[in-house]
Structure 1
């Protein structure tokens, strides 16, 4: 079977040089290996995603000379797939609703930190400090039935009891030199969110479901997602999904050394094209000339 690659942007802004680098790496890997390149639109965030940005993604990728298979998978059209995966995790007793707002969580963290540092995940965010998983089932049901907003969280301690020796195959290199067989430590992320009342999935859940359903065999993406691979590998094992290989690449940064964002006008592909930069010029800018 030929290897399968994917580029999976969110239509919540215009593509920049960092997206171009990742898309070109996937495209080049597919050509080098005789593989397939898929395009996936990760549009589950309905408050930020816009059809105009999706159209711009197609136009910018085509301008770069990137070709992909059709049809394109749009996450908003496959919510039932994520709901089925969530139901499977729930049946294992690994999911619980948490009812604190973001402001309440910030307050709880502040209370905990009054007694010393509170643990944070690899991205620097504080671990969930609440105790919602200790609520009796009738009280959970009452709060859900009342219409109160909630997030569905993974009981990380319970989930980790289901797996041993969790690793992944790293074909690239992480910021700390991670390469080869890397030990996965999902517990560093605490009780991650898998879905919300208004959105039946999260990035962590949808990405592993999509990659499995699309048969993606090598995931090429930025180093900013390297440590999240531990959560993804945990979910793959819990859901009985195949294990892909991972290739995390360095990030394209601005002159101050910061990761590019979709507000980076000077590195936006449309702005570069308007300034007369060619697709070959973009390859040179990202070091693929």
Structure 2
């Protein structure tokens, strides 16, 4: 494998607004029975996120308007995996979500990235499904969670697209996505939740990798879903949930993570 730089500096962030249909499942129009939908809170959190990315991190923000016909389109990371100057346009598991890629594809082209299409059911990647929330890029390699959203054929397409990096597949139990319980907390640090499923996935990752990573286990499962950013001003940032939601995990991260700038997304 090529000796690639662990991370490049971030310059842009692409986000998509919260639609009025937030909390409904794509394709059936029903509200998700597993969560209590709070539209106002979601809008506030989205505002905190965009404000932090623009004002604190210093990124150029590209905001795609919400589409009420696409209730899950706010999960924008699902429809593109970007590394270097290449953007892989994915194929979400649900047929009803696949039109989400159109607006994202246009933005990737406007940013002059090399756009790779996963293709249709009859193409070379026929049968592949891949969602970006099942993809963890460590700066050295990719881990792809095999879940109810992403299959092995999807992981193979990703490996074929980013050939300079090793790509390993790991199991994800239930309806979760890999980055629900596992994310990067720094260039060499993996943050992971303390659940049985997360520990099983971590053991598999340790068996598959040739690299060494520090591992920070956090008590609350949702606290493991963070965003590590190398900002354009040569400062590193970690975006995480507020202390009110994950008090034990925030205290752990303050003492055990490197001394780069950390801030929460607020309520």
TM-score (norm 1): 0.27
Higher share of residues assigned helix: 1
From the CA coordinates, give the structure whose radius of gyration is larger: 1
Greater RCO, CA 8 A, separation 6+: 1
